[in-house]
Chains A and B, each alone.
Chain A
Amino acid sequence: MKKIFIFAIATLFVQSVVAQKLDRSQRPKPGPAPVLTFADPVVYKLSNGITVLVVENHKLPKVSATYSIDAGPITEGAKTGVLSLLGGLMNEGTTTKTKIQFDEAVDQLGADVNVSSRGGSASALTRYFDSAFLLMADALRHPSFPESSFEKLKSQSLTGLKSSERSAKAISGRVVNALAYGVNHPSGEFETEQSINSITLNDVKAAYAKYITPSRGYLTFVGDIKPEAAKALAIKALGDWKGTVLTFPVLTKVQNPAKTEVDVVNVPNAVQSEITVTNLIDLPLNSPDYHAVLLANEILGGGADAKLFRNLREKHGFTYGAYSSNGSGRFQALFKANAAVRNEKVDSAVVEFLHEINVMRTEKVSNDDLQNAKNLYNGSFALGLENPARTAGFASNILINNLPKDFYRTYLQKINAVTADDILRVSKKYFGYDNARVVIVGNQDQFVPGLKKRGFVIKTYDKYAAPVTTTVPEAVKN
């Protein structure tokens, strides 16, 4: 009887919902906020220093593992490209398996196994995971470095460089970092034909001995696996591994330009120009400004509802999308605002970029804008929990960045406490206006005259960030 009664109430409820005419102008209110729960991963240390984290999640019959070596930024100098060659070469066979045998073993499991100069990853169906993991460990510990593979990868690197030679996007990616950090900085240096050609197999072996090690290593398991099983597997595969002890690098600080400058790279074939407004920032995760900067960036250019997108795309139609982003972490990072804009609208777009940045630095954001950004962060945090690897990321971030244990548990609390004054203060501090760089990579004939008319002083660079000394040709003027 009781059951039937409950059923009747439920039916009544449904009917009452549909019986009255729906007032569609009233947006529905949210239900009660879901309780966000995430378990801490199981963490332990192997005797050789590797930190192991396990997030158990049995929803899908699959396990993945990643090994990451926290070596920090590595300066490669004249041999830039050696780490990428090392990573490639570690996938070219081990002392007991040729590349073909190794690949065959991985593919036979339907698994994904990759190693690089920063670590490795293995993911597979649960029933094949142990085998896949052992293959990853074999590639990390016993690469065979065949000479013929070295030559192959070198020639592929050279061809690869050539393949992106005319891509405005690829050139912009290289030049923006090179100009912001300087070409001698690990984040500013880049591969060239010359640097690749100078690398020998011995250079690669030396880099392996120096950087592929259990020291500062983090091994994360996520998925259909028990912590005990993961630990046993980690010990079996990596427990007796020895290697160089890494010291974390210390880098000299780089300065932003004294006065805002416009740096142009000419790519005549480009139909769109890549515009990037950028400056260096210092924003460790434990900075008191951290949460405010995230929100300020969100309001300026975090997505389709932010100021840049609304202005450059929705109002002016200059671009398919305009966004900004802020780096963070233990080293200097970039604040960037960027868009790919059709060549003839570049000068107008630059003005709008700088305008929006200036507004952030001089005007208090509205309560609505701030609340909306907070809501977005609260939502994203919940959505992120769909990915079980996220909680493992929380735990390793806390360890690597030396954060308080409750950093992610209090994350939303701190986001929600940010005020409009905080936003104004951090915008002034972190978003460059007077000492930024505007890097434009595209068909310069179509925008340099316009920029000059608007009073910008232009510096020109080649595709490898070297200053072009000749003045802009006569034909381009006005």
Chain B
Amino acid sequence: MAISGLCLSAFAQKVKFTEYDMDNGLHVILHQDKTAPVVAVSVMYHVGSKDEEEQRTGFAHFFEHLLFEGSDNMKRGDFMKIVSSNGGENNANTSQDRTFYYEVFPSNQLELGLWLESERMLHPKIDEAGVKTQNEVVKEEKRLRIDNSPYGKFTEKIFARLFEGHPYRWQPIGSMAHLDAAKLSEFIAFFKKYYVPNNAVLSIAGDIDVDQTKALVKKYFEEVPKGAPVVRPVYELKPITKEIIDTAYDANIQIPAIFAAYRVPGMKSRDAKVLGMISSLLSGGGSSRLSMKMVDEKKTALQVAAFNYSLEDYGAYITLALPNNNTPLNDLLKDIDAEVTRLQTDLISESELTKLQNQFENSYVSANSKMIGLAENLADGYTFHNKDTNDINEELEKVRSITREEIRDVARKYLNKDQRIVLYYLPKK
């Protein structure tokens, strides 16, 4: 069951790990690194906003808050106190696809980390008092991150149109009315359905002894009962065949912005990696095509960006620009479109390809420099790349194998005007 020592080449950044399944279905990943007396303990639950009912949006993220409320053996509010009073840090975050909880401790507190996460998985406190408080807190989070934040609403606007027919059409923060209406029994049911060991990955990285850690994992997680298998619906979206134009108004801004967004394949596809390279080519660094042309030469843009908002089932490829000197938004869009057309017509140069590869390698090396980042990247590989934890070690080779022709062809396939949403994002008077 265990696969260890996947050190296949001389690359300094080759990540070694051990992985196995427990009888209750919990997948465990262990990575040893003794350079600092630190251990990261994390659990990735494969549940996000796309698993929510249409009338109960925001549940997955709400849980991320609720599961800090304590357990059968922890009073309300003690979770964070126990972590910080033992010298650790903790947090959690929720996306459309997964919810990720972690603690980082001095390495002599590994066992405490395992106790905390197993308490959370086995019998967390889900009661009216916790629901009521976290309901207010989540509303404040929405005000802070979205309602009061300049340009905070663009994903909501774009995703609503781009992913019609898919739960990606709503945002992880969800609807406050839905959360207000939810009954305690619904929260408990959500927990029983998704917070089961067979839908989770326990990923531990740092200053550990692997055999001892395996024994401790067994000690704390063995009694967590296996749940029913989680079955996810498969969504087949109708292709977008005509350009959709939309407008958003934001009271927090003075400078408008223009967005164009295209629906693209999900994160495990090779095309998603190609799109990542296209992002670097268009807006990664001062010499990227859009920055050079629009920010430096024509000086029409204050900022330009192109990025792949990559998710499990699909992705949103988004380009955006903020005008400088009152340049009309349509002029900006025209300039971005011209660069996309160029990408679809001409091959990029060999030296541009080398540049993209170097940029990727640089960010790849940095992404695995801290234990918590490494624990998450390993869990990501297992959760989202066909249970291939070793994806972390294959990624660089995959990116290096992308050809100039592939870059052109992917641009041709997905970045077309009749497949996109154009969003005019304007100041609210």
Residues of A whose CB lies within 8 Å of any CB of B are 10, 13-14, 17-18, 22, 24-25, 27-36, 58-62, 91, 99-100, 102-104, 106-112, 123-125, 128, 152, 155-156, 159-160, 162-169, 269-272, 303-305, 310, 313-320, 340-342, 371-372, 375-380, 382-383, 385-387
Asked if B239 is at the interface (CB within 8 A of a chain A CB), the reply is: no
Bound together, the chains give a CA A210 to CA B367 distance in angstroms of 38
* Contact A108-B355, Cβ < 8 Å, known A24-B119, A36-B37: yes
Q: Say which residue of B12, B223, B284, B360 sits within 8 Å of A22 (CB atoms).
A: B223
Among A112, A162, A166, A386, point to the contact of B36 (Cβ < 8 A). Answer: A386
In the complex, identify which listed stretch (B139-147, B402-410, B416-424) lies at the interface while the others stay far away: B139-147
Q: Is the CB of A386 within 8 A of B150?
A: no
Given contacts A305-B81, A385-B38, contact A110 B362 (CB under 8 A): yes
Are B287 and A104 in contact, CB atoms less than 8 angstroms apart? Answer: yes
- The distance in angstroms between the C-alpha atoms of A305 and B88, with both chains bound, is 12
> What's the Cα separation between A102 and B292 when bound, in Å?
12
A379/B87 in contact, CB under 8 A: yes
Tell me how far the C-beta of A9 lies from the nearest C-beta in chain B, rounded to whole angstroms.
12
Asked if residues A165 and B136 are in contact (CB atoms below 8 Å), the reply is: no
Cβ of B325 within 8 Å of any chain A Cβ, yes or no, is yes
Whether the pair B148, A109 counts as a contact (CB closer than 8 A) is no
Q: Which residue of B lies closest to A379 (CB)?
A: B87
Are B89 and A34 neighbours in the complex by a CB distance under 8 Å? no
In the complex the two chains form, is B254's CB within 8 Å of A103's CB?
no
List 16 A-B residue pairs with CB atoms under 8 Å apart, sorted by A's residue number.
Answer: A27-B82, A28-B111, A30-B111, A59-B35, A62-B362, A109-B358, A165-B254, A272-B140, A305-B83, A310-B77, A317-B139, A319-B137, A379-B86, A382-B87, A383-B36, A383-B105
Identify which of B161-169, B183-191, B214-222, B267-275 touches chain A.
Answer: B214-222
Bound complex: CA A372 to CA B211 (Å): 31
- The answer to whether B55 has its CB under 8 Å from any CB of chain A is no
- Tell me, yes or no, whether B330 is within 8 Å of chain A by CB: no
Q: Are B144 and A340 in contact (CB under 8 A)?
A: yes
A316 to chain B, nearest CB (A): 8
Q: Tell whether, in the assembled complex, residue A317 and residue B255 are in contact, meaning their CB atoms are under 8 Å apart.
A: no
CB of B338 within 8 Å of the partner chain: no
Q: Which 9 A-B pairs have the closest CB atoms?
A: A379-B87, A317-B136, A110-B358, A103-B286, A34-B37, A372-B85, A269-B251, A31-B108, A103-B287
Closest to B105 in A: A379
CB distance from B224 to the nearest CB of A (A): 11
B106 at the binding interface (Cβ < 8 Å): yes
* Per-position 1/0 for B186-229, Cβ under 8 A of A: 00000000000000000000010001000110111011000000
Q: Which among B35, B110, B141, B144 has the greatest number of chain A C-beta atoms within 10 A? A: B144
B365 touches A34 (CB 8 A): no
* Contact A33–B144 (Cβ < 8 Å): no
- Measured CA separation A424–B211 after assembly (Å): 47
B9 at the interface (CB under 8 A from A): no
By a CB distance below 8 angstroms, the chain B residues around A375 are 84-87
A382 adjacent to B371 (CB under 8 Å): no
| A100: chain B residues within 8 A (beta carbon) | 287, 292, 296
Whether the Cβ atoms of A163 and B286 lie closer than 8 Å is: no
B354 within 8 A of A: yes
